[in-house]
Amino acid sequence: MTLRRVIGVGGGTAVPLVVLILLFGNQWLYDALLRNDVGYSGTGGQFLRWLEFPVWRLTAGSTRHRAFLYVVSLDFTVLLLLVLAVGLAVLAARALDERRGLFGAVVAAWWATIVAAGVAGLVRGLLLAWVLEYPGSMRSMSVWQGFAQGLGFGFWFGWLAGIGALVGFLLARPRVATPAGAPGTGPIPVVPPRPGTGPMPIVPQHPSAVPYAPPPGAQYAPGPQQPPQPQQPPPGWSGAPSVPPAQPPVQQPPAAPAPPADAPADAGDKREEAAEEAREDEHAEPKDEREDGPKDEREDDGGLAPPK
């Protein structure tokens, strides 16, 4: 449980007890009942005795023996009742569930009041027996009578502290903020932009903030991409126009190096020269044979011409 709810349960437990103490435990009501000789023997008298258990005083009244200690003893037990009741209710409230702890808050404060009133009555009986110097038999009677009166007060009137704890538990409940656009909250209000403030941001629940998803099975041919058009500012807006972000330049792959242009021409020239030399060699060999043949015959004949 949060600290806010713990404080709410503790405060709700203390408020009803403080009201009961101030209204029915003050010395003026107690002295008036004694002067009028109201009997405590009947059923109504017993409830009145339990209701007067947290009595407190500012003056000793008719008590003259140890008057200051008598007043301190009564007031101390009242403070002890409040502190114990609130402390026990807070300790019990820490174990409650935040969503289903309504009935637990009532029971915790009621139980805390019963225990605190019983302890305060036991302490008050011991203090009064010491301050007023009761004899042995009256001392034990004072202790157990104070203890029983405290348990009766806590049992019959502790439910008021439980109701107060329940109210504090409910008031300290955290309020959950309902998001805009949730079911039951109505349409999202559209507020026009003020001049000089720029375009209004889109609400996360707005339909335009949800990305479009094509239906399953539908195929679309990619069309030519159009350059983004600059958005026109709304009328009355004096701010700078929105500029679309610059597109990064597309990097072209490096071109392959071109082969040298002189290589094919040089190879063709060499082939042509080789072919011409081969043709010249073929024509030169028969000519030499014709020239050498007759000359060799004339040389063999000794240079003489043949007879006629």
Residue 252 gets which letter from DSSP? P
Report the predicted TM-score, pTM, of the whole model to 2 decimal places: 0.56
Domain ranges of the chain: 3-171
Through-space distance between the first and last CA atoms of the chain, rounded to whole angstroms: 157
Model pLDDT for residues 188-226, shown as the tens digit of each residue? 556 666 665 655 665 566 666 667 776 775 555 555 566
Residue type, 204: P
**Residue ranges for the chain with pLDDT beneath 70:** 1, 39-43, 62-64, 174-210, 214, 217-269, 282-308
Residue 46's pLDDT is 77
Q: What angle do CA 98, 101, 106 make, to 5 degrees?
A: 140
Alpha-carbon distance of 118 to 152, in angstroms, equals 8
Helix (H, G, I), strand (E, B) or coil at 131: helix
Model pLDDT for residues 94-145, shown as the tens digit of each residue? 887 777 778 888 999 999 999 999 999 999 999 998 888 888 788 888 889 9
Residue 194's pLDDT is 66
Torsion 126-132-136-138 (CA) sign: negative
Find all residues with CB under 8 Å of 59, minimum gap 6, and list them: 27, 67, 71
Mean pLDDT over all residues of the chain? 75
The token pair at 276 is: 């011409």
Residue 255's pLDDT is 64
Helix (H, G, I), strand (E, B) or coil at 237: coil
CA 197 distance to own-chain centroid:
30
